[in-house]
Amino acid sequence: MTTAVRPQLHYLHDVLEELKAQHLYQKLPILSGEQKPVTVVNGREVVNLSSNNYLGLAAHPKLKRASIEAIRKFGAGTGAVRTIAGTMTIHMELEEQIARFKQTEAAVVFQSGFTANAGTVSAVLNKEDLIISDELNHASIIDGCRLSKATIKVYKHCDVEDCERICKETENWPGRKLLITDGVFSMDGDIAPLDKLCDLAEKYNCIMMVDDAHSSGVLGRGGRGTVDHYNCHGRVDIQVGTLSKAIGSMGGYVCGSRDLIDFLYHRARPFLFSTSHPPAVIGACQAAFTMLEGAEGERLVKKLWSNTKFFKRGLKRLGFDTGVSATPITPIMVGDAAKAHEFSRALFEEGIFAQAIGYPTVPQGKARLRTIVTAAHKRKDLEKALEVIGRIGKQMGIVQA
């Protein structure tokens, strides 16, 4: 039995009703098994094109074994924040492993990519400072910028000229300056012009920061990210990544100089005030990086790209607009949000799980299905997906019959 609800939050009900009227209300899709390329969502078996599980590691036997082993040795939880009593040897080992992978002096693990961004930007800058930020940067960067109380100036998406215009205008800014970008943009799948942004950061004396949430495990040698992809080693002061996407578990990390990491140990609020990762998570991440450092990781990254190319070519051949994507994130542009949701629902009925994304996650009129293939997809899964997407797309007039 539940208790009676007080009226103070009744306005939330009105908001939800409004979302329903606008067809923006969404029930959570529920998986009844592991995160896999073919899985059961809301009771239906589907080809899953909606996860960020790039390398198929989320349900990989090696990660599961490593998690169980870590639980056996270190228990179910850590019982404290990192700075008090919540740092175990495995936390330190993982950080060393990540730093080695990214070729930086040091790394620190956060509870999520979200807290890594928000905690780092807000710790490194304060209200006298300036942030120069891409207009499509991730919400966690935006929140970090706001928390820092620094002045925020936004340049047009991936527009180096517009970025330089702001750099010039603020050349004599009295405080520090941070130039910040996503490495790969999560809704469009395009790659930031990191080399050119590094040029600007050098020319105008900005701290350079990149969020490689969607590029680690995807771009660069063995998935080392955009810094490696552009050979910008030594030119980016702060590299953020996530353990929740290609790495297959959960968490985030920051890589950079020993001083940066030491400073974050002392000043990053999520690090100081939120309990550390349980051993199961750390064990899984260690196993994932061990794979990435070896031949197996290279093979998985190659497979991810061959699947990506196969799927993108198929969509183009069918006549779909896949926007500006250059990575495994492949939007199927629809335009109208209601139509995108209808397309997604129709695909689901036929066993294809591709979520529709509309405003406010993407701009008005730019609704789309967001698809991601993984290294774990089989060709026959992708062939089935292309067949169904093509057929329904034609029926709905999204592409020409």
Candidates 113-121, 191-199, 343-351, 355-363; binding stretch for ligand PLP (CB under 6 A): 113-121
Q: CA angle at residue 37 from 117 to 254, to 5 degrees?
A: 15
Which lies closer to ligand PLP via its Cβ, residue 56 or residue 251? 251
CA gap 121, 253 in Å, rounded: 13
Query: How many Cβ atoms from other residues are within 10 Å of residue 103's Cβ?
Result: 13
Helix (H, G, I), strand (E, B) or coil at 177: strand
**Count of residues that interact with ligand PLP, criterion CB under 6 A:** 14
Q: Does 125 bind ligand PLP (CB under 6 A)?
A: no
Closest distance of CB 137 from ligand PLP, Å? 8
Closest distance of CB 98 from ligand PLP, Å? 14
Closest distance of CB 173 from ligand PLP, Å? 26
Q: What is the CA radius of gyration of the chain?
A: 22
Which lies closer to ligand PLP via its Cβ, residue 120 or residue 186? 186
Nearest-CA neighbor of 238 among 263, 269, 207, 268?
A: 207
Q: Does 144 bind ligand PLP (CB under 6 A)?
A: no
CA gap 51, 310 in Å, rounded: 18
CA gap 284, 63 in Å, rounded: 4
Q: Does 285 bind ligand PLP (CB under 6 A)?
A: no
Look up residue 239 and give its DSSP letter: E
Q: Segment 226-245, which members bind ligand PLP (CB under 6 A)?
A: 242, 244
Site for ligand PLP (CB under 6 A): which residue of 47, 63, 74, 113? 113
Closest distance of CB 206 from ligand PLP, Å? 20
Q: Does 112 bind ligand PLP (CB under 6 A)?
A: yes
CA gap 290, 247 in Å, rounded: 11
Closest distance of CB 351 from ligand PLP, Å? 26
Beta-carbon contacts of residue 172 (< 8 Å; ≥ 6 apart): none
| 245 given a catalytic annotation | yes
Q: Does 186 bind ligand PLP (CB under 6 A)?
A: yes
Tokens of 7: 């009226």
Q: Is 144 exposed, middle or buried (0-12, 13-18, 19+ CB in 10 A)?
A: buried
Candidates 98-106, 107-115, 199-207, 355-363; binding stretch for ligand PLP (CB under 6 A): 107-115
Q: Does 327 bind ligand PLP (CB under 6 A)?
A: no
CB-side neighbour CA atoms (13 Å) of 400: 2
Candidates 112-120, 166-174, 221-229, 363-371; binding stretch for ligand PLP (CB under 6 A): 112-120
> What positions carry a catalytic annotation?
186, 214, 245
Which residue ranges make up the site for ligand PLP (CB under 6 A)? 112-114, 117, 138, 140, 182, 186, 211, 213-214, 242, 244, 252
